[in-house]
Each structure stands twice: as structure tokens, then as C-alpha cells.
Amino acid sequence: MLLGPALGCAQPSPEKTIIVKNGFDMGKHRETIVVLLKELGTEESDFQGLMVKDTETGEYSFTQLVDQDGNGVVDALIFQASVPPLSEKKYELIKVKNTSISPDTLVAAFSRFVPERIDDYAWENDRVAFRTYGPEAERLAKEKLPGGTLSSGIDCWLKKVSYPVINKWYKLGEEGISYHTDHGEGLDNYHVGSSRGCGGIGIRKGDNLYVSDNFTAYKTMETGPLRTVFELEYAPWKAGKMMVKEKKRISLDLGSNLSKIEVQFAPPYPEEIVAGLAIPGKEGKGGVVSVDEKTGWFSFWSEHYDSELGIGIVVDPKYVSGYTEYRVPKVEKSHVFVHLRLINGKVIYYTGFGWKKNSRFSTRKVWEEYLREFALVLSFPAEIKISNP
């Protein structure tokens, strides 16, 4: 839990009490709770500097004000709650001072555009880190110049530590110290190339996979500490005879191994898309594919250099129309494709990874159980009730 400062003996009075009820027979650990400000019944300015107090343990943790619908107006407050199975807990909203944060020092969810590394966009939390690539990297690649990357796939940065590494690793790169080598915190040895990497999308027609080029524009919406959110836009791209226009909103919560990806298409909408989990190597061999379409999780686990790595997708089954295990003797072409139908031109799914050296996922079985529980918790969200203290 992301704890706030000790408040001493003179503790302020609570503003509101929030009761979080878990009606599911599985415990909820650090689930992000969303409370609309209009449900709290006071002005937005009254929510600056709020923390939540667990009335059972007396611990304080951060809240975050967020813009849920992306219209530029803050409309919700989020915090994280841990509630045992079939039970409820009370949290008090309390106004405190000196809750400022820094992404370089605090364990937090965080994202930013990275102009010093051409034009990456990178995001991370206490468990995982990712990046994808922008228009300048595309230009360099198409002109066959150094530093270019042509890919709309998702790259994984494998962390061993809970504190932020994005800024540090990019700075080391500027100083000539490669983050492709493990200096004790982890490394980037995941090769995305032209593949979909960890959950990138495309449209399949027969054996042909159509994908966008790099993102053309970005918008950073939230930078933590509990949730980071940003949007990526892409130039129209061709899938057979169809022109496709997409925009992604990506978010990552503290404590989660999976990013939430919301893809919105402009009409005319494709009937379905695929989200891909790349199978590495020139022959497309090896690794273990595990799937539970009914619950909505998909996994690929394999050896990864001197360790092992699991990549996965979790999605509400209403979007799922099947999956394909596609293996061919061509580098960066083999994938597990999850076929996703669109609803009103939109699809929402979660994607991420678990690295054995991170210590949380010692075996494939542990990774698959994480995906299964993640899917089940999504199906049974916590209920909240707000009352005056």
C-alpha cells in the first residue's frame, strides 16, 4: 500500500466515510476504487490534499483526482483498498498537508514522453514498465538511419525493483551505460521489433496481419501516484481495402502487472481486431500457450535468456471471438492472437507480463493463476457506499 505521512496525535476530522464491500469469495488486494466527485457532494477544491484512512489498521494512503472521461475536467477520486472475501471495510477521507510527490522518489504509477530517446512513450509502476515508439523513430527507420524503430507493438522493460526506473535508465543510456544490460535493477532484453510484442493490435485477413505504423501524437492525462493515463493517436492505416483510424487510451494502476488498453476506432469500424502475444525466435517454436476463453485470459510462457517470462491478455469475454496460435518459421511473425469483436467501435483489454527474476512469478502456474484471479476480480468489482462521518 502506498502510505502517506504520519499525522501525529492531532488528527483531522474525516470529510466522508467510504464503505467498500467485497461480495466475492476471493480477497481484493489493492483494488483501485473509483468514487465520482458528484457522489461525494462537495466542490472539487474540497478534495485537494485528501488521503484515506483505513479505520481498521489506522494506516493512511494517497488518493488521486482523475478525469474519467478525458474531457479535461476532474470528475473522480481514486484510492486503493484491500478487502477480504465476503466482507467490507471502512475508509475515511481526511484532508492533510504536504502530500506532494515526485515520480523519481515515490513508488508510483508514472508515464511520460521521452524526447531524449528520439520519441519513445514509456510508462511504469512498482511492478512493470513498458514503452512504444513515435513518428521520429519511424522516420529514421524508413530512411534506414541509426536509432530508428518501426513498430506499434508494446515493448517490455523487465524490472526487479519497486521504485521508478524509466528516468534513471534513459539517463544512463545518455551516459553510454546500456539498459539492455542488467545492472541490478533489471533490463530491457525483450525484443519487440515488428511483432505485436506484449498486446499490440492488428487486423488479420487470412495469413496477412495489417498493423499501424508508430503513434503520431500523444496526450499525457494522469501521472500518478495511483494511476497513469495517456492517449496515443495513429495515422490512418490500410487493412486490405479498408482504411482504419484508431486511438488508444492506456492506463496502468499501481500494483498491477497489466496495462488497461482502450482502443477506439473511427467509422467505418472493422468487424474485429486481434491483440497479439509475440512468440520469439526465428522458428516460432517453444513456450507454452494457456487459454481460458470463458473467464477471459490468455497466456504465453517461455524461456527468456537466463530466466523465464510470461506475457498475457485479460479481457471481458463479451469481446472475445476466439484465438489463434500462429507459428511460422519467420522472425517476429509468430503470435498468440486473441480475436476481439468491437462494441460501438471500441474494445477494452488488459495486457502485461510477469518475469521470473522479479520473484513474484516463480513458475508458469503462478503466472497463470495471477491472470485467472485478475479476470475474476474484474468480473466482480467492489461495491461502494458513501456516508457522512
Lowest pLDDT segment from 29-38, 136-145, 210-219: 29-38
Is the same domain home to 207 and 253? Answer: yes
Give 304 or 11, the one with higher predicted confidence.
Answer: 304
Of the listed ranges 43-47, 130-134, 238-242, 370-374, the least confidently predicted one is 43-47
> Is pLDDT of 3 > 80?
no
Here the cell at position 296 is 477471459
Residue 372 placed within a domain: no
Does 228 map to a domain?
yes
User: 158 and 269 share a domain?
Assistant: yes
Q: What is the mean pLDDT of residues 117-133?
A: 97
Spatial distance between the Cα atoms of 346 and 319, rounded to a whole number of angstroms: 10
Asked whether residue 373 is domain-assigned, the answer is no
121 and 221 in a single domain? The answer is yes
Verify that 288 and 352 share a domain, yes or no: yes
Rounded CA-CA distance 246/265 in Å is 4
Same domain, 176 and 51: no
Contacts for 200 with CB less than 8 Å, ≥ 6 apart: 132, 151, 152, 153, 154, 192, 211, 275, 276
Whether 194 and 296 share a structural domain: yes
In degrees, rounded to 5, the angle at the alpha carbon of residue 342 between the alpha carbons of residues 133 and 66 is 60
Q: Show the domain range for 189.
A: 110-358
Nearest to 65 by CA among 93, 103, 104, 29: 93
The answer to whether the peptide bond before residue 317 is cis (omega within 30 degrees of 0) is: no
Q: For residue range 243-278, list pLDDT tens digits in order.
A: 999 999 999 999 999 999 999 999 999 999 999 999
Kindly indicate the confidence band of residue 6, based on its pLDDT and cuts at 50, 70 and 90: very low
In the predicted structure, residue 2 carries a pLDDT above the cut 70: no
What is residue 52's three-state secondary structure? strand
9 band by pLDDT with thresholds 50, 70 and 90: very low
For 15, the enclosing helix (H) or strand (E) is none
Specify the pLDDT at position 98. 58
Which grid cell is 29? 488486494
Q: What is the mean pLDDT of residues 266-295?
A: 95
Nearest to 24 by CA among 379, 366, 297: 379
Give the DSSP H/E element, type plus range, for residue 89: strand 87-95
Helix (H) or strand (E) run with residue 139 in it: helix 135-142
The residue whose grid cell reads 524461456 is 303
Cis peptide bond N-terminal to 225, omega within 30: yes
* Domain final residue pick, 100, 130, 158: 100
What is the structure's pLDDT at 42?
Answer: 63
Residue range 201-209: mean pLDDT, rounded: 95
Instruction: Please tell me what DSSP assigns to residue 103.
Output: T
Q: Kindly state the helix (H) or strand (E) to which residue 367 belongs, with its residue range.
A: helix 364-379
Question: Torsion angle of alpha carbons 296, 297, 298, 299, nearest 10°?
Answer: -170
Question: How many distinct structural domains can be found in the chain?
Answer: 2
Give the pLDDT score at 8.
39
Residue 135 is inside which H or E element, if any?
Answer: helix 135-142
Q: What local confidence, expressed as pLDDT, does residue 118 receive?
A: 95
- 10 falls within a domain: no
Q: Would you say residue 5 has pLDDT above 90?
A: no
Average pLDDT on 140-145 reads 96
Do residues 95 and 230 both lie within one domain?
Answer: no
- Tens-place pLDDT, residues 53-80: 999 999 988 899 999 888 888 999 999 9
* CATH number of residue 212's parent domain: 2.70.98
Give the DSSP letter of residue 318: G
Residues 215 and 166 in one domain: yes
Instruction: Please state, rounded to an integer, the average pLDDT across all residues of the chain.
Output: 91
Buried-exposed string 75-105: b where 16+ CB fall within 10 A, e elsewhere = ebbbbbbbbeeeebbbbbbbeeeebebebee
User: Which pLDDT score is estimated for 282?
Assistant: 86
Taking the CA atoms of residue 321, residue 322, residue 328 and residue 330 in that order, the dihedral angle to the nearest 10 degrees is: 40
**Tens-place pLDDT, residues 85-119:** 999 999 999 887 655 555 455 788 999 999 999 99
Query: Are both 211 and 318 inside the same structural domain?
Result: yes
26 and 163 belong to one structural domain: no
Say which CATH number the domain at 25 has: 2.60.40.1180
What strands, in cross-sheet order, belong to the sheet with 346-355? Answer: 215-223, 227-234, 246-253, 258-265, 346-355, 307-314, 297-304, 288-292
Q: Is 377 part of any domain? A: no
**Do residue 71 and residue 155 come from a single domain?**
no
Q: What is the pLDDT of residue 25?
A: 87
Q: Is residue 302 in a domain?
A: yes
Residue 384 lies in a domain: no
Query: 40 or 100: whose pLDDT is higher?
Result: 40
In the structure, what pLDDT confidence band is assigned to residue 29 with cuts at 50, 70 and 90? confident
pTM here?
0.93
Whether residue 214 has pLDDT greater than 50: yes
By three-state DSSP, how is residue 37 classified? Answer: helix
Position of cell 497479439? 276
**Is residue 378 one of the residues assigned to a domain?**
no
pLDDT in the model for residue 43? 61
Check whether residue 90 and residue 144 sit in a common domain.
no
The answer to whether the CB of 70 falls within 8 A of the CB of 221 is yes
Confidence of residue 361 (pLDDT cuts 50, 70, 90): very high
